[in-house]
Amino acid sequence: MKYRLVLLISIFIYCISLNLNAQSYQNAEHHPCLKCHSSQSYSFHNSVTDKEMKRLMNPYYILDTVAMTAGVHKQFDCTDCHSSEYGTYPHQANLKLEPLSTCLDCHGGDESFATYQFEKIDEEFKKSVHYKISGDNFSCTKCHSQHTYVATARTSSNVLEIVDYSNKMCLSCHNDMKKYKLVSGHENPKLVQVHEWLPNQELHFQHVRCIECHTEVVDSLMVSHDILPKDKALRKCVECHSANSRLKASLYKYQNLQKRAESTGLNTVLANESYIIGSHQIPHLKIASIIIFLLTLCGIIIHSIFRILKKK
Ligand code: HEC
Ligand code: HEC
Ligand code: HEC
Ligand code: HEC
Ligand code: HEC
Ligand code: HEC
Ligand code: HEC
């Protein structure tokens, strides 16, 4: 009797953990949000006509689940940031007005993220042309998606990957007429023409980041955030093409850092493990419940064997 109760409870815990697991981003079809927000079309029940409807999803609202699973906020669930009222569809109109947390709301003044110097980045960003021209309309999320951001410059050891990741942030807007116009209200200047003076343009854009020429190097920061006006942009070839290249102080400073990180590998691992958000994604809970389940199962089998033996 006692065993059966324990068995029932452990099956219950196991099912909950399976269900919670279904909320992870990988399991998009079973995710309450991603079943709609990760595909081209979505379906819902129309309560007025009592029919199933199928519609096309707004392409800007289709999320990249692979990139999200790799992102720094992968431990979050959607409703850690968005209102839980999004759980119903049609979404309520007033949810559009919901203020979302900014990077600084969560990271500002937090000791665990001190190495990133969020406050200093914010200070630098406020000096940039983007902020000066567009003000609060130009937020951190214009460059950094909270869904998918990865601190590539800090974590990758591949310079080409770092350059590519960084430049895509700029190009996603500077090469996208709609996004650019949304912020500025006018057409985007053609980057190829603007940089016509630079030979081997494509090669350069693969090997150096836009920010190499468009920011002043700030020694204390990994990534300078003060995008300068265009007349202050770097044009002198020798700044890079010389023994004392400025790339050593900017792009290549990561490689040194990478080596240092490797020698203290243990510390970084520990630091990453210490933060768990969204209790529904605690892997230990699942493992614990499986163990309880298996132990009870063993208990019952042993118990039954003894009973059979006793009968004999
Ligand atoms: C039945 C499909 C469906 C489900 C489930 C769904 N959404 Fe949506 N969502 C949409 C569609 C379609 C839109 C586009 C605007 C609209 O039609 O209301 C949208 C828009 C949004 C927006 C943008 C709102 C705006 O206009 O700025 C957010 C944010 C959002 N959904 C979050 C969520 C979250 C979080 C969940 C899960 C808790 C979720 N959605 C579940 C279909 C869905
Ligand atoms: C770490 C916080 C965070 C998490 C987790 C998060 N979002 Fe968002 N989401 C945001 C922010 C911030 C914006 C507004 C982006 C902007 O300002 O351009 C946003 C925007 C959106 C939009 C509007 C389209 C867009 O990309 O701008 C949709 C749709 C959306 N989120 C759905 C989701 C769904 C579905 C999930 C879970 C799978 C999710 N979000 C998880 C912070 C988050
Ligand atoms: C709702 C709160 C919230 C918002 C908004 C938010 N973050 Fe985070 N962020 C976190 C938490 C909590 C973690 C730790 C997650 C973990 O370790 O699994 C984190 C992790 C990170 C990390 C990795 C830190 C590390 O060393 O592991 C970076 C980088 C980061 N966030 C950058 C940003 C940026 C840039 C923005 C704005 C675009 C942003 N975050 C917005 C809460 C937030
Ligand atoms: C104009 C685009 C742009 C804007 C706006 C922007 N950033 Fe960045 N940020 C970048 C680029 C590019 C990188 C380097 C990408 C990488 O991590 O490889 C970066 C890197 C970072 C990093 C990682 C630095 C490190 O030490 O590893 C953090 C944290 C960060 N940004 C926070 C912010 C915050 C907070 C804001 C708003 C106050 C902001 N960013 C606004 C472009 C931008
Ligand atoms: C080798 C240095 C260098 C690199 C790399 C570089 N730029 Fe530039 N950029 C310049 C210079 C110098 C100017 C000023 C050109 C002028 O005014 O004639 C400029 C001008 C610009 C302008 C101003 C356009 C206008 O006329 O309003 C934008 C926007 C711009 N760059 C974006 C980018 C982006 C995005 C990238 C990365 C894909 C990038 N740049 C890479 C040096 C560079
Ligand atoms: C969300 C869109 C967006 C993103 C992302 C973005 N920019 Fe811009 N940028 C603009 C707009 C809009 C302007 C022009 C503002 C105006 O003139 O009205 C601009 C202006 C510039 C200028 C020219 C300033 C001047 O003097 O005219 C440079 C240089 C520049 N951006 C570089 C960058 C770099 C480097 C990145 C990536 C780190 C980047 N931008 C990311 C939208 C963006
Ligand atoms: C921001 C730094 C930077 C600036 C400024 C810069 N370059 Fe480069 N350049 C590079 C890098 C990095 C490469 C790729 C080197 C490599 O790995 O082969 C490169 C490659 C080249 C190449 C091709 C070399 C080859 O091996 O094929 C030529 C030619 C060149 N640059 C000329 C120039 C000229 C001329 C200027 C000034 C108008 C200039 N560069 C400005 C960083 C820069």
CA distance 186 to 133: 13
Residue ranges lining ligand 3, Cβ < 6 Å: 72-73, 75, 81, 101, 103, 105-107, 113, 116, 140-141, 144, 146, 149, 151, 272, 275, 277
CA distance 164 to 150: 13
At 275 the pLDDT is: 26
Residue bearing tokens 């906020």: 73
Report angle CA 12, 17, 18 to the nearest 5 degrees.
95
Nearest CA to ligand 4 atom 40: 140
pLDDT at 10 over 80: no
User: Where residue 269 falls among pLDDT bands split at 50, 70, 90?
Assistant: very low
Q: What is the pLDDT of residues 78-97, one digit of tens each?
A: 999 999 999 999 999 999 99
Contact between 179 and 185 under an 8 Å Cβ cutoff? The reply is no
Other Cβ atoms within 10 Å of 66 Cβ, number: 13
CA distance 226 to 48: 53
Nearest CA to ligand 1 atom 32: 86
CA distance 280 to 258: 33
CA 181–ligand 7 middle distance (angstroms): 31
At 255 the pLDDT is: 57
At 14 the pLDDT is: 53
At 280 the pLDDT is: 34
From residue 187, alpha-carbon distances to 174, 177, 211, 259 in Å are 10, 6, 22, 43
Lowest pLDDT segment from 116-130, 191-205, 232-246, 248-262: 248-262
CA distance 70 to 74: 7
At 281 the pLDDT is: 41
At 271 the pLDDT is: 32
- Ligand 5: does its nearest atom lie under 6 Å from the Cβ of 235? yes
At 3 the pLDDT is: 65
Average confidence (pLDDT) over 140-145: 96
CA distance 157 to 275: 24
From residue 121, alpha-carbon distances to 21, 118, 289 in Å are 35, 5, 43
pLDDT at 138 over 70: yes
Average confidence (pLDDT) over 92-105: 96
Ligand nearest to the CA of 166: 4
Mean pLDDT of the chain: 84
Higher pLDDT, 300 or 46: 46
- Ligand 4: does its nearest atom lie under 6 Å from the Cβ of 222? yes
Average confidence (pLDDT) over 195-223: 92
Lowest pLDDT segment from 181-185, 194-198, 247-251, 273-277: 273-277
CA 246–ligand 2 middle distance (angstroms): 37
* CB proximity list for 98: less than 8 A, separation 6 or greater: 82, 83
**Paired tokens of 149:** 């951001």
Average confidence (pLDDT) over 38-43: 95
